[in-house]
Amino acid sequence: MTVTIGRRRLLAALGVAAATWPLAARGQQPGKLPTIGLLGATTPLVESQRLRAFVQRLHELGWFEGRSIAIEDRWAEGRTERFAEIAAEFVQLKVDVIVTVGTLPALAAKQATALIPIVFAGAGDPVGTGIVASLARPGGNVTGLSVQFTDLAGKRLELLREVVPNLRRLAILINADNPAAMKEVGEVQAAAGAFGLEVVTLEIRKAEEIASAFEALKGRAEALYVFADALMNTNRVRINTLALAARLPTMHGVREYVEAGGLMSYGPSLPDLYRRAADFVDKILRGAKPGDIPVEQPTKFDLVINLTTAKALGLTIPESFLLRADEVIE
Q: Is residue 234 part of a domain?
A: yes
pLDDT band of 1, cuts 50, 70, 90: very low
Q: Is residue 240 part of a domain?
A: yes
Whether residues 222 and 125 share a domain: the answer is no
Q: Is residue 52 part of a domain?
A: yes
For 43, the 3-state DSSP assignment is coil
Separation between Cα atoms, residue 112 and residue 119, nearest integer Å: 14
Whether residues 200 and 244 share a domain: the answer is yes
- Beta-sheet pairing, 35-40 with 70-75: parallel
Q: Is residue 141 part of a domain?
A: yes
Domain region containing 11: 7-147+269-299
Whether residues 182 and 215 share a domain: the answer is yes
Q: Could you read off the pLDDT of 69-101 as tens digits, one per residue?
A: 999 999 999 898 999 999 999 999 999 999 998
Mean local confidence (pLDDT), 207-229: 94
User: Which CATH number characterizes residue 324's domain?
Assistant: 3.40.50.2300
HSE (side-chain half, CA atoms, 13 Å) at 245? 11
Q: How does the average pLDDT of the chain come out, rounded?
A: 89
Whether residues 275 and 179 share a domain: the answer is no
Q: What is the pLDDT of residue 149?
A: 62
Q: Could you read off the pLDDT of 133-175 as tens digits, one per residue?
A: 999 999 999 999 998 766 788 999 999 999 998 999 999 999 9
Whether residues 122 and 163 share a domain: the answer is no
Q: What is the pLDDT of residue 4?
A: 40
Whether residues 55 and 193 share a domain: the answer is no
Task: Supply the pTM of this predicted model.
Answer: 0.82
